[in-house]
Amino acid sequence: GHGRKAQIGDKVTLYYKGRLDPDKVKTFDRSTRKNPFSFRLGTKKVIKGINIGVEGMTVCGKRELVIPPEKGFGEKGVIDKVPPNATLFYDIELLELTPK
């Protein structure tokens, strides 16, 4: 990536794919190139592990995140999507960054 690093309070737009296994077979959630996902960094709109993992990224940067349950969906999980106490595997690509 290049340019300014993402900071808490910035609006970020990214492409992501969330999976339940390190082999990246079981996808439970994703955004698409046509419909990327935007949120303000540091808010509760996303799980804690995404906020931590995206902070410091630059536009066009890519990261693989391994998110433990306590920074993911925890003991509850997500009905029909994420089992309780699941470790999550995310591929992230930062597309846009708007400073706060």
When pLDDT is averaged across residues 25-38 and rounded to a whole number, the result is 92
Residue 4 located in a structural domain: no
**pLDDT for position 58:** 97
Give tens-digit pLDDT for 40-90: 999 999 999 999 999 999 999 999 999 999 999 999 999 999 999 999 999
Q: Which residues lie closer than 8 Å to 70 by C-beta, 6 or more apart?
A: none
> CA 61, CA 74: separation in Å to the nearest integer?
27
Residue 84 located in a structural domain: yes
Residue 39 located in a structural domain: yes
> CA 28, CA 58: separation in Å to the nearest integer?
25
Q: What's the CATH code of the domain at 30?
A: 3.10.50.40
Sign of CA dihedral 16, 22, 26, 28: negative
Total domains present in the chain: 1
**pLDDT for position 83:** 96
Neighbours of 19 (CB within 10 A): 17
pTM of the model: 0.92
Residue 75 located in a structural domain: yes
Give tens-digit pLDDT for 1-18: 778 999 999 999 999 999
